[in-house]
Chains A and B, each alone.
Chain A
Amino acid sequence: MTFSSLLAASQTQTTFQTIPVLVLLPVFGAIAVALTPNARIGVHKMLATIFTGVTGAISVWLLTAFETNGEFQFISQQTWIKSLGIDWFAGIDGISLFLVVLTGLLFPFVVIAIDPKHDHKAYYIWIQLLQTGCMGVFVSLDLFMFFVFFEIVLIPMYFLIGKWGHGNAQYAATKFFLYTMFGSALMLVSIVSLAVLHAQNSDSELTFNLLEIATNPAIATNTSRLLFLGFAIAFAVKVPLFPVHTWLPDAHTEAPTAGSVILAGVMLKLGTYGFIRFGLFLFPEASHFFAPLFLTLGVIGIVYGAIVATMQRDLKRLVAYSSIAHLGFIILGTFALNTQGIQGATVQMINHGLSTGALFMLVGIIYERKHTRQISELSGIQKSAPVLAGVFTLVMLSSIGLPGLNGFVGEFLILLGTFTANRWWAVVAATGVILAALYLLWAYQRVFHGPQISEDEPTKDLTNWERLTLLPLIVAIVFLGIYPKPMLDRIEPAVDKLVSHIEETIEDGSFTEPVPTTQNRTTFSDLLKETHESHSYDKYGDSHHDNHHDHESDHENESHSGDHE
């Protein structure tokens, strides 16, 4: 439908190409840092700040220039390897927009806020290359290009953990690298098979173009399920989902603060984003087929992550396990396969990036002051560092999902979406919210309350500089909690389009939509979304009957009216 017109349009577009600049600017930054002498640490930091900062500024500009519709925008396309049908093909839609912005902003934030302890030059080079890699993943619309970026992020992160981490950093870095590479190894086979089968079955040239393959899959159901698993394993490792999560606590604990912030903030999203962009989009049928599996794994992640987090003695490890629980929510929302669920998952990706990123920052700050992360060795920090305690409380509450803060919006939408589609999973998952309150509040109580440990001098409170650097995160956390509408509005059309793509494909087969019960739809929905809810009801109501076209036109009317509001 619209994809082909998009493709045609993209070929003629010759205006200023934002996306390539966005992706490649940090590379030039890295080169610039590499060319300055080793001793000029200040210059390294300044250059890194400028280059990542300009990248961030461009990403914010995208936010304003983005048109609220479900199309891919800022398309840039360039033939890369002609004989293999590989293109540089990049663009963003509502789903990737905020991840791009998050990537754009979190990196300059990390560069400014956290200084490495040694080897400054190499550090700034790797950080900037990492930004390029993450940015590349989020804008790729070509499977091959996506894979290249997906895999290349391993190298900078490997060195960041291995060289600047503490404790058993080399072990953690190697484990991280191998786990992720194992996943992507299978994904590469899937990508190649998908492209080759697509070319053979549709009798066309070999292409890795995501949109072409997704709109014209031409692949047998069983094959596509296998291929989906190839992708899914890669993403599951990256997320990480329950049985393959063991690299994450190690990597997080041993990583330097900057590494943890980026790992939690951006890199885990590569997996969840991959599920939405590639898993669901390319394999709607298989996603639906395997949805119970992934819902279950997501729920296991939520409960297991929460329980293990409760048991942790190391504050950083606790936050790491809480990540596993949060990402379980994102998976849950994704595989609810409806608008609320996927929208919630997208929102939650951003929220998790903000709150967990901030939590890791704060844990890093505590570690710097006390030189320990053992909860038992920390006590009574609040007395001498009230601001630190206050900030920690706010961030923690956002992570728990307190209404009024950003975490609530995402979790609520996810639970809503899951409940309409798969009720019992949602019921179990909701306990995760309670458990989150348990482990975080308990940890908070042990670390910040209680008697001060006497032999130490009083803990220094946040410095002005630290307050200043944390401020943007806190503003974002509060703003998105109180007024998420601008964000939801931009995400919604793209998610709608994805959901209708999934439904179209599934309706061809023997798919029966899970019956949403009427009562729970009406009670919850008004709380958050005023604009679009009616149309999403229509969709679920309609999909049982066969008036697909009516539904389609409804959808268009709705989105138009949505634009005007």
Chain B
Amino acid sequence: MSAINVLAHESIQTPSVAWTGLLPIIILATAGVLLLTICSLFPKRVTNKFSSIYTQLAAVAALSSTFSLWDKVQNKSEGPYSTLAGAFGVDGFSIFVTMLITVCLILISPLAETFLKREKIDGPEPYVLMLLAATGGIIMAGANDFIILFLGIEVLSISSYILAAMNSRRIQSQEAGLKYFVLGAFASGFLLYGIALLYGATGSTSFSAIKNFTQDVELTNDTLLLASLALLIVGLAFKVSAVPFHFWSPDVYQGSPTPFVAFMASVVKAAGFAAILRVLYVTLGEYRADWQPAIYAIAIATLLTGSLLAIVQTDLKRMLAYSSISHAGYLLVGTQAASDQGVKAVLFYLATYAFMVIGSFTVIALNAGDCGTRTSLDSVAGLATKKPLLGIAFTIFLLGQAGIPLTSGFFAKFYVIEAAVEESSYILAVVAMITAVIGAFLYLRILVKVWLTKPEESEENENIHIPNEIKIVLGIAVVVTMFLGIWPEPLLEMVQRAIPELIAG
């Protein structure tokens, strides 16, 4: 009797929820589920075009919801805060990554639409999956608890597995999806095991509790914690395709539909690095002496493998897959610095790289012909003669990735190098710059084809049709790449205020 009374009087304490902080997640997740519902109710009405515009609108809505959050978090009197009982944090960092992810979503949707139309794939599933994957990415960036982080990673990963296999009529796409799934599941297992061990070592899954624990308690035996650290690094390094956990990425990039490769290279990479920074830099910052050498080694391996293997490839998508691995290497150089400067460099890099990589894959997708399979290096031969503007855009994206001055890619590399040098990692900086030269060879190989080779004489060389919305996407990507290459201050100022903070639970 009395027990019931107690229950009746003291209702279960639910944590207070700051809904506004969750707005981007709510918008994108709801939009995804709603699109699925609309589609089941009116299967005939929901066209490819509608889904694409719908996705873009949802992303725009999510993006605009971040503006007020950004102001609020930057406001001195309010500052970063956590919600859902400290499980989800809202700070400049998470909002920055949210903005980045939504912008990527806006840029990729038109390309997805073109692709799906060409491949005659009906149904809104790809859009739903992209919306959900973006939600997962945002959750990862804001996670303040390992359980939430894992949730975000899984939402993102599972959606990407299916996106990779989206073109179910093509065996390569299925193979890519399966490969991604099997290896990804392994990586998730490692990650989960790492989380479990960390819970065993510190007694909590909350980032702030773990941080406090590592600050307050001097462990006499930290084997468990170090083991969990190693497993966490394996799991997270897989997501960003760092060497030696990169083997999936060339195959998956080559086989997957190009728009979703752009999605993986931009959104998944950004979310992955957001998670790495949250976990290693913020939460386990006390153990930086232990994880820095590991990241140092992984960074060098990633830089060298990515750039060296890229130059022997003959397929554009594979080339860019390896180049994307080497870009992960630069991001790890910034991560390794374990300083605010390093974090800023990583964020700057992620933001600029997203535009360049989306732009590059858009050009490749446009050039890939009706079947979407013309992605060999020879297929871009004479692109600049056939389509000068497309050629120029492609050139800017490639030079940007090579890190040539007056493109945003140069400042990205510069910033990373600066962060490394400030922490006296000179060797790493030198290795990074030398691999940039090796990488430049890759981009030059493509540019030689684009500019200096005669187009192939074949019936496939019909005019490349570029839909207007894709022209806009390419235009935005070019302008951003050039603008930030000449005047990077606006983005620098943003990343300045996007340092991740430990948010009390």
Contact = CB atoms under 8 A, between A and B. Distances in A.
Contact of A83 (B434, B445, B492): B492
User: Most chain-B Cβ atoms within 10 A of its Cβ — which of A148, A158, A188?
Assistant: A188
Contacts of B433: 185-186, 188-189
Interface in B212-262: none
B437 A185 contact: yes
B488 A188 contact: no
Interface stretch (B36-44, B196-204, B415-423, B468-476): B415-423
Given A152-B406, A189-B417, A193-B426, A159 B437 contact: no
Given A81-B492, A82-B489, A193-B426, A185 B436 contact: yes
A188 B451 contact: no
Contact of A148 (B405, B421, B429, B445): B405
User: Most chain-A Cβ atoms within 10 A of its Cβ — which of B410, B437, B451?
Assistant: B437
Nearest to A177: B444
Contacts of B493: 83
Interface string B384-403: 00000000000000010000
Nearest to A230: B430
Contacts of A476: none
Interface in A169-219: 169-170, 174, 177-178, 181-182, 185-186, 188-189, 192-193, 196
Given A151-B405, A152-B404, A188-B433, A178 B489 contact: no
A228 to B, nearest CB: 14
User: Most chain-A Cβ atoms within 10 A of its Cβ — which of B445, B489, B492?
Assistant: B489
B426 A181 contact: no
B448 A174 contact: yes
User: Most chain-B Cβ atoms within 10 A of its Cβ — which of A169, A170, A178?
Assistant: A170
Nearest to A182: B437
Nearest to B427: A189
B453 to A, nearest CB: 8
Interface string A345-365: 000000000000000000000
A163 interface: yes
Interface residues of A, number: 29
A147 interface: yes
A186 B489 contact: no
B81 interface: no
A188 B434 CA distance: 11
Interface string B427-446: 00110011011001100110
Contact of B452 (A155, A162, A178, A189): A162
Contacts of A152: 404-406
Given A178-B440, A185-B436, A159 B414 contact: no
B404 A155 contact: yes
Contacts of B376: none
Contacts of B417: 188-189, 192
A163 B451 contact: yes
Contacts of B404: 151-152, 154-155
B496 interface: yes
B319 to A, nearest CB: 16
A332 to B, nearest CB: 29
Contacts of B489: 81-83
A174 B492 CA distance: 33
B484 to A, nearest CB: 11
B448 A170 contact: yes
A178 B492 contact: no
Nearest to B423: A196
A24 to B, nearest CB: 12
Nearest to A158: B444
A340 B414 CA distance: 38
Given A185-B434, A185-B436, A186-B433, A192 B496 contact: no
Contacts of A81: 487-489, 492
The interface size bin for chain B is 20 to 34
A83 B497 CA distance: 13
Nearest to B444: A174
A189 B440 contact: no
Contacts of B487: 81
A188 B421 CA distance: 11
A486 to B, nearest CB: 36
A189 to B, nearest CB: 5
Interface in B454-496: 487-489, 492-493, 496
A186 B432 CA distance: 10
A56 B101 CA distance: 49
A169 B453 CA distance: 12
B317 to A, nearest CB: 22
A193 B421 contact: yes
Given A177-B444, A196-B422, A162 B451 contact: yes
A562 B417 CA distance: 47
Nearest to A83: B492
B440 A177 contact: yes
Contacts of B445: 174
A159 B440 CA distance: 15
Nearest to A152: B405
Contacts of B444: 158, 174, 177-178
B441 A174 contact: yes
Contacts of A148: 405-406, 410
B451 A189 contact: no
Contacts of A84: 418, 492
A149 B406 CA distance: 9
Contacts of B421: 189, 192-193, 196
A238 to B, nearest CB: 14
A163 B452 CA distance: 6
Nearest to B489: A81
A186 B430 contact: yes
Interface string B3-42: 0000000000000000000000000000000000000000
A82 B452 CA distance: 39
A182 B448 contact: no
Contacts of B422: 196
Nearest to A226: B426
A162 B430 contact: no
Contacts of A149: 405
A147 B426 contact: no
Nearest to B485: A148
Contacts of B426: 189, 193
Given A81-B488, A147-B405, A148-B406, A178 B448 contact: no
Contacts of A196: 418, 421-422
A31 to B, nearest CB: 13
Interface string A59-103: 000000000000000000000011110000000000000000000
B117 to A, nearest CB: 33
Contacts of B410: 148, 151
B349 to A, nearest CB: 15
A170 B436 contact: no
Contact of B414 (A82, A158, A174, A192): A192
Contact of B440 (A147, A162, A181, A193): A181
Contacts of B429: 189, 192-193
User: Most chain-A Cβ atoms within 10 A of its Cβ — which of B433, B434, B493?
Assistant: B433
B496 A159 contact: no
Nearest to A163: B452
A84 B422 CA distance: 13
18 contacts: A83-B492, A84-B418, A84-B492, A152-B405, A158-B444, A159-B451, A162-B448, A169-B452, A170-B448, A174-B444, A174-B448, A181-B440, A186-B433, A189-B429, A192-B418, A193-B426, A193-B429, A196-B421
Interface of A: 81-84, 147-149, 151-152, 154-155, 158-159, 162-163, 169-170, 174, 177-178, 181-182, 185-186, 188-189, 192-193, 196
Given A162-B448, A174-B448, 13 more contacts: A81-B487, A83-B492, A149-B405, A151-B405, A163-B451, A174-B444, A178-B444, A182-B434, A185-B434, A185-B437, A189-B417, A193-B426, A196-B418
Interchain residue pairs A-B with the least CB separation, the first 7: A185-B433, A148-B405, A182-B437, A189-B429, A181-B437, A193-B421, A192-B421
